[in-house]
Structure 1
Amino acid sequence: MTKDPYELVLDAIDRGEFRPGDRLVESELAERLGVSRTPIREALQRLETQGVLARDGRSLVVSALTHDQLGELYVVRAELEGLAARLAAQHAAPEEVRVLRELARRDREIVTRPELLARANKRFHHQIHLASHNRFLIQQLEMVHRSMALVATTSLAAEGRGPQALAEHEAIIDAIEGRDGDAADAAIREHISRAFETRLKRDAEKYLG
């Protein structure tokens, strides 16, 4: 099924084709996506309402998160991801755990390629969300990860972060497979905390240098 313009623009932002601060022009998007300007206009209005896009004069640009907004986002993400991991430990089918193991194995092959690893990381987390078997939680996590797309760079590009993140993924899988909800919750919270800390360090270094 063909995605609507709203989903297509969101996907482009998620893939980094449009970065925070980039201007989105209705006519250019219509030509690029091969659709009329009316559904593009509706899609942009919807994205503006959701905070994905912001007004800059008469133009719409991809939103950028402030330092405080980023912190707020990570707080919410940790809570929701922790719940997803806890529920996955209770409800994940053996097949779902094996899929997580396979994803982790494949990710080791791209550990030195941050952009690919960032996309694989989203896949891994989405699989945990699905394994929670809670549709309302999954919807909320989709909103959080949509906002994460507004962060211009990936923390996985930091030196040593890739291997560390994959080790953290293994700890999460171990806890889910062991049906230990507390451990799964703690492991994924630690994973997200490390990612946030890495991002803050990179931002501080950028400011200083």
Structure 2
Amino acid sequence: MPDDRNQNKDAYALILDAIDSGTYKPGDRLVESELAERFGVSRTPIREALQRLETQSLLTRDGRSMIVASLDHNQLAELYVVRSELEALAAKLAARHATEEEINVLRDMVEKDRALLNDPAALARANRRFHRQVHLASHNRYLVQQLDLVYRTMALMATTSLAAEGRSETALQEHDHIVTAIENGDSEAAYKALKAHISKAFVTRLKSDAENHS
């Protein structure tokens, strides 16, 4: 007999990954029976996973149905304010606490990601890995947990700012500056570099949203 706890965990992760990858986009309706068939999981853990995602505000109710939530302008602005401060703090702590091996991994990521400049989707995944590595290099479990929540909500953004013309190359240059500051153990420079990086990403997203709604 399958372990219900594992099934529940798998169903939650599978649905979350599908939202994160864009399989389900903001406004898409999620139907228990269809999800159960797609993922090969019974409807009970699917139902529990949907309820969990609703409590995290990743899903919202439309009558009796569940749909993937979307972020309005104010929610997006609020998210970026929190993300900017928490990520900048992670970079500051990484400059103080990152091991030589962790810094080498960050440097290697920046170099390898240059090969993805013409593939925004792949670069977006690599970008997430890079930021996650900075979070871990902070060596602060509570900060990492809070950033995990922020990134979970970011899955509700249907597009990546890296798809904007010229943004991907600039973003990698910014990653390089962040790693250099961490390498040098300069916590203030690392804080400012990552904060500026998030600010530029937000500006790019706002411009993109304005163009899409014009």
> CA deviation digits over 1:56-97, x for unaligned, max 9?
121100000000000000000001001100110011000000
Q: Percent identity?
A: 65
Give runs of aligned pairs for residues 9-88 of structure 1, distance below 5 A. Answer: 9-88=15-94
Q: Which segments of 5 or more consecutive residues in structure 2 lack a partner in the other structure?
A: 1-5
Pair 1:99 & 2:105 matched? yes
C-alpha separation in 1, matches of 2:199 and 2:205: 10
How high is the TM-score relative to the length of structure 1?
Answer: 0.97
Pair 1:144 & 2:145 matched? no
Quote how far apart the aligned CAs of 1:4 are. Answer: 1.6
How high is the TM-score relative to the length of structure 2?
Answer: 0.95
C-alpha separation in 1, matches of 2:23 and 2:151: 16
C-alpha separation in 2, matches of 1:9 and 1:50: 13
C-alpha separation in 1, matches of 2:168 and 2:187: 25
The corresponding residue for 2:3 is none
The corresponding residue for 2:135 is 129
The count of corresponding residues between Structure 1 and Structure 2 is: 208
Q: What's the RMSD between the two structures over aligned residues?
A: 1.1
The corresponding residue for 1:204 is 210
C-alpha separation in 2, matches of 1:207 and 1:45: 32
Runs of 4+ in 1 over 6 A off after TM superposition: none
Quote how far apart the aligned CAs of 1:8 are. Answer: 1.2
Residue type at the aligned position of 1:68: N
Quote how far apart the aligned CAs of 1:11 are. Answer: 1.1
The corresponding residue for 1:155 is 161
C-alpha separation in 2, matches of 1:42 and 1:149: 20
Out of 156-165 and 2-11, give the one that drifted further.
2-11
The corresponding residue for 2:189 is 183
Q: Which segments of 5 or more consecutive residues in structure 1 lack a partner in the other structure?
A: none
What secondary structure does 2:213 align onto? helix
What secondary structure does 1:54 align onto? strand
What secondary structure does 2:66 align onto? strand
C-alpha separation in 2, matches of 1:15 and 1:135: 25
Quote how far apart the aligned CAs of 1:25 are. Answer: 0.6
C-alpha separation in 2, matches of 1:12 and 1:177: 35
